Amino acid sequence: MLGPGLREIAGRHPSVGEVRGRGVFWAVELVRDRETREMLVPYATDGGAAARPVDEVVAACMEGGMYPVWNYNRVHVVPPCSITEDEARQGLAILDEALGHADKYAV
């Protein structure tokens, strides 16, 4: 359920370059430009203004009750193996809304 749901979400957000994963371990790669695959946040940034786009996504997820793992331009979706379908749908909805923040920085 997570893979199809994340791929559907990716289709709605220009900031999503790729969704990859298996089982309950997924990564959503955030890009500034889908065509060039330029990372939304530069690799090895030390935070600050350069990290703001992903920081906004993570903050919106947390405000919605979802606590993602993130690393530079990736948001990892790693729920517990015991997650229910309803809980997964709720988490996907939170992420879908939060990705609107990244879309503001995408081409």
Provide the whole-model pTM: 0.92
Tokens of 60: 């919106």
Across 15-21, average pLDDT: 97
- Residue ranges of the domains in the chain? 2-103
Burial category of 81 from C-beta neighbours within 10 Å (exposed 0-12, middle 13-18, buried 19 and up): exposed
Kindly report, residue by residue over 22-81, the tens digit of the pLDDT: 999 999 999 999 999 999 988 877 778 888 999 999 999 999 999 999 988 999 999 999
What are the distances in angstroms from CA 89 to CA 5, 6, 51, 86, 100? 8, 10, 27, 5, 17
Q: Return the CATH fold of 2-103.
A: Aspartate Aminotransferase, domain 1 (3.90.1150)
Which secondary structure element, helix H or strand E, spans residue 74, and what is its range? strand 74-77
